[in-house]
Structure 1
Amino acid sequence: MRDQAPDPVRPQRRLSTKEAAELLGVKPETVYAYVSRGQLSSRRAPGARGSTFDAAEVEALARRNRRETGGTPSSGGDLAVRTRITLIDRDRYYFRGVDATELAARHSYEEIAEWLWTGHLRPGVTFDAPEAAVSVARRAVDALPDHAGPADRLRVAVIAAATADPLRFDLSEEAVLGTARALIPTMVAALPPVRRARRGEGSLARSLWARLSGRDPDEASLRALDTALGLLVDHDLAASTLAVRVAASAHAHAYAAVSAGLGVIEGPLHGAAGGLAHRMLLDVLDQGDAAPVVAEELRAGRRIPGLGHPLYTAEDPRAVALFRLLKDIPHAAPALAAARDVEATAARHTPLHANVDLALAVLTASCAMPATAGETIFAVARTAGWIAHALEEYRERPLRMRPSGRYVGPEPPQPLP
């Protein structure tokens, strides 16, 4: 924003940097960040030190910040986060306004990632992992004990890849996009292969398959895996995504932001939910009936894995899209029948619909993948969404994701212990 010419009739009131910062509830350096982003104009008075700011313009920005955060600028109350990435509405969800299930049905995971990041589709795009980053990440992952889980391996891979990138602190959009296009295939390449992976296998889904299943992939199964990646790429402000945005708000680099997300997904209510559904399906297949398995879950006071979602009243649209493809996968019929048996049995107790975790469990159980495969698929897929949210957050006011605590401890002053 260019400097405004002073009104010759009524002089404008000018504020110092300190006064502007106090009115906005930010640090003085943040005021200059507003200037660099074109949100404020500044003028240096002849013979004076420092810049001055139009009081009316500063007050207008302060009002705008209060509307956006739902509180005073200094409260850090940005609980409703503005985003152009994902909308969940009426049992559907959309990526940049486009139906996400239709995108996943027609485009590869890499193409959907590019759409999230840039708003442009790049037909046929593939991601390549730099040899140096892969080498460092593999050595770090191989050093982990055998019982390390997928989130452990992926976190270590991301941290190792970061050490191989001296330019990781560049938060410009182009630099972060370059990081994203290299980091995701590096994460996959760092995982121990189950079957021999050929160099230049093409799609990320094919490369990931080699880390999850010892079977040779058929086209229907590969398509289902690629679609699952595309369906899971983002889901608004899930717990892990919020963690990523908090890290990005502090201007942590992209690797650190992704690490924050990976630290959250291990919870059984988030990324690990697919593994619980996988094990439940295997129990149903072993017993030949969902009733005793569902009864045991209810008797133990646990929620039934793979059923229900707080954001959808009907069936999870991601599950609907994935179940449609699973019918074409060889050997999937028993797991599909087990999933429908679980849903029908649970409906006698409470009307819950299948969610994407149950559909993902059918995919992993049908394709000779371990129970942890769902968590791996989820983490790899969601990394693209995390990068999209980090890019958005880098453009926002720094450190805005800073809520104030409501102290409920002993009234001070208390005596020294």
Structure 2
Amino acid sequence: MRDQEPGPPADAGQPQPQRLSTKEAADLLGVKPETVYAYVSRGRLSSRRAPDGRGSTFDAGEVEALARRGRPDSGAGPAAGGEPSVRTRLTLIERDRFYFRGVDAVELTARHSYEEVAEWLWTGRPGPAAAFVAPEASVAVARRAVDALPDHAGPTDRLRVAAIAAAAADPLRFDLSEHAVLGTARVLIPTLVAALPPALHDMRHAEGPLALRLWTRLSGRPADDASLRALDTSLGLLADHDLAASTLAVRVAASARAHAYAAVSAGLGVIEGPLHGAASGDAHRLLLDVLDQGSAAPVIAEELRAGRRIPGLGHRLYPAEDPRARALFTLLEDVPGSAPALAAARDVVATAARHTPLHANVDLALAVLTASTGMPATAGETIFAVARTAGWIAHALEEYGERPLRMRPSGLYVGPRPPQPLPEPRSGQADRDGEPGISPTSLP
């Protein structure tokens, strides 16, 4: 695309907009000069021929606005649909399937443990069975912090507190090198699990696979092989899922160079919402209602009458079936005692289909697992948070390799235009002209 020719001379009495050279624009954007011209060819910047005929100049305000939005080729700008997009090599979702680093995630989790899936997300390197072991000192600090919470504290409250306590116990947490962050990840995840109050008082499993250790925190029943496999697969399938709300929060924190513990804490702060990590709890309670009433019809009718969405159904990224739900439902067939909850889930899908044709999502499958194994309704939220910590660490590692503070959008101000009059003092307050009120000199 040719550089645009200068327009007619502006009124000599008007201030002229500041113009930047190609080098100045490139420095402000943090890119090479060739990239600046690529932005021009894509219509993201306009240019004028320099007065001396050599090179181009760029409007400073336009360049600054582009810099605030994020470099288009950096993956930190708006997508075609107006939603933020971030370049990543981790998860691809297309045509009702999803992939971790190009590998089918359902097939990967069918053959590898959660720990191995996490290592694949972090490093892209296959390896032997990974062992996540937390130092006793880290676990002790996290447990003391969690034990101090009130009994009504939720699972995400406990995990957040455990992450903060583990961070405080790690003086090297500010080392953001890949080696150090990977070391943090392999310690933090088992620390989060170990800090949770035990439901099964059998500490022989304290150093077993992570799924087994988590089981002892969620169910008072001994773990059978089929249930444990379903739990481990759930962890792997939920390890990452593109830029979910919590993952975006993690990348924003990592963009500001927050350490890995703080980045995970940012994710935990978002995951508690009913439209995210806590969604499986609503599905769990729905299944219990269906089992109690013997049919999904009255339960679905009550949800619709109240204007609520049916939990466990539909997903904006999967027009057809959620592949994670499909994989879990297959495994749940072998879980002892799962038949009633599976039947209830099928009844929910079939009954709701009369109103809207939505498929089951992973929240409904997770609810079948938790309801069939004696876990509380909040167990799905715990599984989700522990699982997703692996993905959060992977995204933090990616973001540490990008330009700092690139995740800084510009606000679109829609308030009253200045200048506005100063607000009047509230009743009983002194203004600056000495009206009656409380002043520092009148205090005893």
TM-score range, shorter chain: 0.7 to 0.9
> Are the aligned partners of 2:283 and 2:364 in contact in 1 as well (CA < 8 Å)?
yes
- Paired residues in the alignment total 371
Q: Deviations over 1:35-59 (max 9, x none)?
A: xxxx8xxxxxxxxxxxxxxxxxx31
1:60 aligns with 2:28: no
Distance in 2 (alpha carbons) for counterparts of 1:64 and 1:284? 58
Cα pair distance change 1:199/1:294, threshold 3 Å: closer
1:89 aligns with 2:63: no
Q: Which residue does 2:354 correspond to in 1? A: 348
What residue ranges of structure 2 are gaps of 5+ in the alignment? 1-20, 45-64, 71-75, 78-83, 424-444
Which has the bigger relative contact order, CA under 8 A and spacing at least 6? 1
**One-letter amino acid matched to 2:258:** A
Q: Which residue does 2:122 correspond to in 1? A: 117
Q: Deviations over 1:129-170 (max 9, x none)?
A: 111110000000000000000000000000000001000000
**One-letter amino acid matched to 1:60:** E
> Are the aligned partners of 2:22 and 2:36 in contact in 1 as well (CA < 8 Å)?
no
Residue in structure 1 matching 2:67, options 70, 73, 76 = 73
Cα pair distance change 1:386/1:409, threshold 3 Å: same
TM-score for the superposition, normalised by structure 1: 0.86
Distance in 2 (alpha carbons) for counterparts of 1:67 and 1:143? 59
Q: Which residue does 1:44 correspond to in 2? A: none
Q: Report SS of the residue matched to 1:72.
A: helix
Runs of 4+ off more than 3 Å: 18-24, 61-68
Q: Report SS of the residue matched to 2:204.
A: coil
Q: Deviations over 1:243-271 (max 9, x none)?
A: 00000000000000000000001110000
Residue in structure 2 matching 1:157, options 152, 157, 162 = 162
Q: Which residue does 2:338 correspond to in 1? A: 332
> Are the aligned partners of 1:258 and 1:383 in contact in 2 as well (CA < 8 Å)?
yes
Report which of the two structures shows the higher radius of gyration computed on alpha carbons.
Answer: 2
> Are the aligned partners of 2:163 and 2:192 in contact in 1 as well (CA < 8 Å)?
yes
1:293 aligns with 2:296: no
> Are the aligned partners of 1:25 and 1:74 in contact in 2 as well (CA < 8 Å)?
no
Taking every aligned residue pair, what percent have the same amino acid on both sides?
76
Tell me the CA shift for residue 22 of structure 1.
5.3
Distance in 1 (alpha carbons) for counterparts of 2:393 and 2:36? 29
Distance in 2 (alpha carbons) for counterparts of 1:304 and 1:386? 28
Q: CA RMSD in A?
A: 1.9
Distance in 2 (alpha carbons) for counterparts of 1:67 and 1:85? 29
1:135 aligns with 2:140: yes
> Are the aligned partners of 1:96 and 1:116 in contact in 2 as well (CA < 8 Å)?
yes
1:222 aligns with 2:228: yes
TM-score for the superposition, normalised by structure 2: 0.81
Q: Which residue does 2:172 correspond to in 1? A: 167
Tell me the CA shift for residue 72 of structure 1.
1.8
Distance in 2 (alpha carbons) for counterparts of 1:309 and 1:320? 13
Distance in 2 (alpha carbons) for counterparts of 1:75 and 1:284? 48
**One-letter amino acid matched to 1:89:** E
Tell me the CA shift for residue 300 of structure 1.
0.5
Matches within 5 A, 1:256-405: 256-405=262-411
**One-letter amino acid matched to 1:24:** D
**One-letter amino acid matched to 2:100:** F
Q: Deviations over 1:185-239 (max 9, x none)?
A: 0000000001122254410000000000000000000000000000000000000
Cα pair distance change 1:90/1:179, threshold 3 Å: same
Tell me the CA shift for residue 75 of structure 1.
2.8
> Are the aligned partners of 1:62 and 1:73 in contact in 2 as well (CA < 8 Å)?
no
Tell me the CA shift for residue 415 of structure 1.
1.6
Cα pair distance change 1:21/1:234, threshold 3 Å: farther
* Bigger shift: residues 212-221 or 407-416: 407-416
